[in-house]
Amino acid sequence: MAKTSTSFVCQACGAAFPRWMGRCTSCSAWNTLVEEADRKRLGKLAGPGASKVQAISEIAEDGAARVPTGVNELDRVLGGGAVLGGVVLVGGDPGVGKSTLLMQALAGLADKGCRALYVSGEESAGQTAARARRLAGVARSKDLLVLAENDLDAIERALDESKPRALVVDSVQTMRAQSMESAAGTVSQLREVAARFVERAKRDGIATFLVGHVTKDGAIAGPKVLEHIVDTVLAFEGDRGHSLRTLRAQKNRFGSATEVGVFEMTSEGLREVDSPSKLFLAERPINASGSVIAATSEGSRSLLVEIQALVGSAGGGSPRRTCTGVDSSRLAMILAVLERKAGLAVSTCDVFVNVAGGARIDEPAIDLAIALAVASSHLERPVAADVVAFGEIGLAGEVRGCARVAARLAEAAAMGFRRAITPASAASSSADIEVIGVRTLSEAIDAAM
């Protein structure tokens, strides 16, 4: 391919260079060099066009045309199905099941007669087909197409020919635009590749899913601009040792970003879990100290999870604090409040806290259950098996209110619990469950044990 000698341009002064540098040698500005083709594209996206100013009241709405994928947990997170013309970026650790999830989604769409193309830059067509056959019920439809390719131009030609309504690009980091000199996965390639797929999705009304690799700390690898130009960003998470997988929206232009999808990884692919609470509580010990059930809220539904704590003597050494599934700084705060406000001498103890089943809970309403589990283990007094707890804990030892109280109580009652320890502000009468409102952590400990 013929290459131009000046392929990088400084956005500040316009000077051209044959290779990328961190600093422009002409105007001394930092990080201003972009690839020539990239610059043209950026100009095209943001530049002047045939737009005009209009009154909002006079503009017809762009109704988002949705097609349910048939994978209900995915549809829930998307806000009711895949949007034709919408672009979804799905990130997740290696091996978590991104390809599996999206193959199942495409198969669901193809079954509805929505022509679907799976483009793999990581696996051969044979490998992709083998996965599809292993998944229960997948690979029956003639509308499910596969292409093993990582050249963007070739993929665009294939899109012109096969005209799919749904597309998976697995993964965006392996795709390469020939117009750029840099290797696949570099910042300018990612920008170009994503921009071309977004343009294409909007123009032809294709429901597009881009798989994105993640960095060590879980962020999608590549420039932040990737997350800005797509409509929806989903994070697929799971723990290596557990079959549980959760799908969360980090951003969603077409729906709520608070919904969570729950799956179980099986040899036949991802199985939807319609009652996650049942799964989380399946193996809980009854009347064991250190085990407390928390009613958490995830999007429009409530999940019951078991919080386990083990408190032991540190034997004179520096005490260890280990937690999985909850935030460690939150645990440190709760331990300090337990010590100072509830008189529990835990500062010299080893403390381990775990959310059973591999779930991860981010909301502060989990505080009360963590505190009760630690207190229960420390005092060696079990919390009754029919009790759930929720509420945020403040530094003064107060139990603070939280959102979606009714949903939490309803889920607890549905799962057979008889009593709920809640913030006083949340204490409402419920026919199905006895609600015990508490103001302080000490009151909560008294009520629970």
Please select the residue that binds ligand ATP; options are 48, 63, 94, 316, rule is CB under 6 A: 94
Shortest CB 277 distance to ligand ATP, Å = 24
Nearer to Mg ion, 99 or 377 (CB): 99
Token pair of 337 as six digits? 């409040």
Which residues, in sequence order, are CB contacts of 385 under 8 Å at separation 6+?
286, 287
Shortest CB 243 distance to ligand ATP, Å = 8
Residues 107-136 that bind ligand ATP (CB under 6 A): 122, 134
Q: Which residue is nearest to Mg ion (CB)?
A: 99
**Binding status of residue 265 toward ligand ATP by CB under 6 A:** yes
Helix 367-379 and helix 441-448: axis angle, to 10°?
Answer: 60
Please select the residue that binds ligand ATP; options are 79, 85, 91, 92, rule is CB under 6 A: 92
Looking at residue 251, its amino acid is: K
The option from ligand ATP, Mg ion, none interacting with 329 (CB < 5 to 8 A, set by class) reads none
Q: How many residues bind ligand ATP (CB under 6 A)?
A: 12
Distance separating alpha carbons of residues 8 and 15, to the nearest angstrom: 8
Beta strands 349-355; 301-313: pairing state: antiparallel
Q: Which stretch binds Mg ion (CB under 5 A): 36-44, 93-101, 193-201, 242-250?
A: 93-101
Q: Does residue 123 contact residue 148 with C-beta atoms inside 8 Å?
A: yes
Q: Which stretch binds ligand ATP (CB under 6 A): 9-17, 43-51, 97-105, 375-383?
A: 97-105
Nearest to 101 by CA among 130, 64, 72: 72
Please select the residue that binds ligand ATP; options are 32, 99, 179, 208, rule is CB under 6 A: 99
Strands, DSSP E only, in 228-378? 232-238, 244-252, 260-266, 269-272, 291-298, 301-313, 321-324, 349-355
Residue count of the chain: 449
**Binding status of residue 95 toward ligand ATP by CB under 6 A:** yes
Q: Which stretch binds ligand ATP (CB under 6 A): 87-95, 220-228, 276-284, 330-338?
A: 87-95
Backbone phi and psi for residue 92, each to the nearest 5 degrees, phi listed first: 175, 160
Q: Which stretch binds ligand ATP (CB under 6 A): 78-86, 92-100, 279-287, 429-437?
A: 92-100
**Binding status of residue 184 toward ligand ATP by CB under 6 A:** no
Q: Does residue 244 contact residue 355 with C-beta atoms inside 8 Å?
A: no
Q: Does residue 405 contact residue 427 with C-beta atoms inside 8 Å?
A: no
Handedness of CA 158, 162, 163, 167 (dihedral sign): negative
Shortest CB 226 distance to Mg ion, Å = 18
Token pair of 77 as six digits? 């997170």
Shortest CB 94 distance to ligand ATP, Å = 4
Distance separating alpha carbons of residues 281 and 387, to the nearest angstrom: 13
**Binding status of residue 97 toward ligand ATP by CB under 6 A:** yes
Please select the residue that binds ligand ATP; options are 77, 96, 172, 233, rule is CB under 6 A: 96
The option from ligand ATP, Mg ion, none interacting with 97 (CB < 5 to 8 A, set by class) reads ligand ATP
Token pair of 176 as six digits? 């390469």
Interface contacts to ligand ATP, rule CB under 6 A: 92, 94-100, 122, 134, 265, 267
Interface contacts to Mg ion, rule CB under 5 A: 99
